[in-house]
Amino acid sequence: MTSKPEQLNWSASLRIAHPSPSASKGLQGDKILLPQSALEQLLARAPSTFTSSTSHTFTAFDPFSPYAVSDARRERAQYRETSQQLPHPLMFQLVNQKNGNSVYAGIREFSANEDEVALSPYLIDALGIQHEDIQQEPTFEDEVVDLTDDEPTKTEELRITVKARQLPKGTYVRLRPLEAGYNPDDWKSLLERQLRANFTTLTKDSILSVHGVKGEEFRFLVDKFLPEGSGICVVDTDLEVDIEPLNEEQARETLRQIAAQSQRAPGTDPGTSIGHTIDIWKQVDGQVLDGDYADYDLPSWDKSRPVAIELTIHGDHEVDLFVSPKSNRQRALPRDTEHVFGDFSSPKDGLKRIVIQPTNPELEGAEALLVSVHGFCLPDKDAVGSVPAKYTLRAKAVDAQGSVTAPIDLSSSAPKSTTEEQCRNCHQMVPKQTIVLHENFCLRNNIVCPQCKSVFQKKSAEWEAHWHCPVHPEAYGSSMLSRSKHDYVQHTAHTCTACGPSSPFTFPSLPELARHATTNCPHKLILCQFCHLEVPQEGDPLDPSSEAETVLSGLTAHERADGGRTTDCHLCGSIVRLRDMAAHVAHHELDKARKPKPELCRGELCGRTLHGIGPRGQVNGGTQMGQGPGNSLGLCSLCFAPLYVNMHDPEGKALRRRIERRYLAQLTVGCGKKWCQNEWCKTGRANRGLEALGTSVSTALPLVKPLLEAITDHSQRMHFCVDEASQRRKKTAEMLAAEGVWDLEWCTAAMEAEGGNLSKARGWLADWAPTKVHK
Query: With contact defined as beta carbons under 8 Å apart, do 106 and 90 qualify?
Result: yes
Q: Has residue 595 been placed in a domain?
A: no
- Residue 344 neighbours by CB under 8 Å, 6+ apart: 320, 336, 376, 485, 486, 489, 490, 510, 511
The pLDDT tens digits for 727-772 are 999 999 999 999 999 999 999 999 999 988 999 999 999 999 999 8
Rounded distance between C-alpha atoms, residue 701 and residue 694, angstroms? 8
CA-CA distances (angstroms) from residue 211 to 19, 126, 413, 433, 658?
Answer: 20, 17, 56, 67, 90
Query: With contact defined as beta carbons under 8 Å apart, do 33 and 27 qualify?
Result: yes
622 and 747 together in one domain:
yes
Q: From the CB of residue 639, how many other CB atoms can be counted at a distance below 10 Å?
A: 25
What sign does the CA torsion over 700, 701, 706, 710 have?
positive
Does 155 score more than 60 pLDDT?
no
Q: Identify the residue with better confidence: 676 or 44.
A: 676
Specify the pLDDT at position 73: 62
Instruction: Count Cα atoms within 13 angstroms, Cβ side, for 508.
Output: 2
Does 506 score more than 90 pLDDT?
no
Specify the pLDDT at position 355: 94
Q: Has residue 464 been placed in a domain?
A: yes
Q: Has residue 530 been placed in a domain?
A: no
Boundary (domain end) residue, out of 362, 397, 432: 397
Boundary (domain end) residue, out of 241, 263, 285: 263
Rounded distance between C-alpha atoms, residue 481 and residue 184, angstroms? 32
Rounded distance between C-alpha atoms, residue 195 and residue 201, angstroms? 9
Specify the pLDDT at position 269: 64
Does 21 score more than 60 pLDDT?
no
Query: With contact defined as beta carbons under 8 Å apart, do 352 and 278 qualify?
Result: no
DSSP state of 418: T
The order of strands in the sheet holding 240-243 is 207-211, 217-226, 172-177, 240-243
Rounded distance between C-alpha atoms, residue 570 and residue 576, angstroms? 10
Q: Has residue 192 been placed in a domain?
A: yes
Does 677 score more than 60 pLDDT?
yes
Specify the pLDDT at position 140: 42
The pLDDT tens digits for 71-83 are 556 655 554 455 5
Rounded distance between C-alpha atoms, residue 604 and residue 452, angstroms? 85
Q: Specify the pTM.
A: 0.65
Instruction: Count Cα atoms within 13 angstroms, Cβ side, for 375.
Output: 26
For the stretch 583-591, contacts whose Cβ atoms lie closer than 8 Å and that sit 24 or more positions apart, written own/partner, are 588/767
What is the rounded average pLDDT of the residues 417-422? 82
755 and 645 together in one domain:
yes
285 and 389 together in one domain:
yes
Structurally, the chain folds into a number of domains equal to: 4
Specify the pLDDT at position 277: 92
Specify the pLDDT at position 353: 92
Does 290 score more than 60 pLDDT?
yes
Specify the pLDDT at position 714: 87
* The one-letter amino acid at 343: D
pLDDT mean across residues, the chain = 82
Rounded distance between C-alpha atoms, residue 443 and residue 426, angstroms? 9
681 and 622 together in one domain:
yes
Q: Has residue 199 been placed in a domain?
A: yes
466 and 324 together in one domain:
no
The domain that holds 350 is classified in CATH as: 2.60.120.380
Boundary (domain end) residue, out of 239, 263, 287: 263
745 and 669 together in one domain:
yes
pLDDT band at 139 (very low <50, low <70, confident <90, very high): very low
Rounded distance between C-alpha atoms, residue 525 and residue 363, angstroms? 17
Does 137 score more than 90 pLDDT?
no
629 and 753 together in one domain:
yes
Residue 526: which H helix or E strand, with range? strand 525-527
Query: With contact defined as beta carbons under 8 Å apart, do 268 and 207 qualify?
Result: no
Q: Is the preceding omega at residue 89 within 30 degrees of 0, hence cis? A: yes
Q: From the CB of residue 304, how many other CB atoms can be counted at a distance below 10 Å?
A: 8
pLDDT band at 3 (very low <50, low <70, confident <90, very high): very low
695 and 715 together in one domain:
yes
What is the rounded average pLDDT of the residues 566-587? 90
84, β-bridge pairs: 48
333 and 214 together in one domain:
no
Nearest CA-CA partner of 104 in 92, 122, 86: 92
Q: Has residue 75 been placed in a domain?
A: no
Nearest-10 Cα torsion for 686, 690, 694, 695: 40
Nearest CA-CA partner of 762 in 749, 774, 176: 749
Q: Has residue 681 been placed in a domain?
A: yes
Q: Has residue 89 been placed in a domain?
A: no
Query: With contact defined as beta carbons under 8 Å apart, do 150 and 80 qualify?
Result: no
Query: With contact defined as beta carbons under 8 Å apart, do 313 and 391 qualify?
Result: yes
Nearest CA-CA partner of 160 in 282, 38, 254: 38
Specify the pLDDT at position 120: 86
567, β-bridge pairs: 576
Q: Which of 326-335, 338-347, 606-615, 659-668 has the lowest mean pLDDT?
A: 606-615
690 and 704 together in one domain:
yes
Q: Which of 66-70, 206-210, 591-595 has the lowest mean pLDDT?
A: 66-70
202 and 337 together in one domain:
no
Specify the pLDDT at position 550: 87
Rounded distance between C-alpha atoms, residue 687 and residue 723, angstroms? 15
Instruction: Count Cα atoms within 13 angstroms, Cβ side, for 327.
Output: 12
Does 354 score more than 50 pLDDT?
yes
The domain that holds 231 is classified in CATH as: 3.10.330.10
What is the rounded average pLDDT of the residues 563-580? 90
Instruction: Report strand pairing: 201-203 vs 116-119.
Output: unpaired
Specify the pLDDT at position 150: 53
Rounded distance between C-alpha atoms, residue 480 and residue 318, angstroms? 11
**Residue 206 domain boundaries:** 172-263
244 and 280 together in one domain:
no
535, β-bridge pairs: 526
What is the rounded average pLDDT of the residues 27-39? 88
Instruction: Report strand pairing: 11-16 vs 116-119.
Output: parallel
Percent with pLDDT over 90 in the chain: 28
Does 309 score more than 90 pLDDT?
yes
Q: Which of 403-412, 433-442, 444-453 has the lowest mean pLDDT?
A: 403-412
Does 545 score more than 60 pLDDT?
yes
The pLDDT tens digits for 238-263 are 888 887 776 777 667 766 666 665 55
pLDDT band at 453 (very low <50, low <70, confident <90, very high): confident
CA-CA distances (angstroms) from residue 510 to 212, 337, 362, 485, 494?
Answer: 18, 6, 19, 11, 6
Specify the pLDDT at position 263: 54
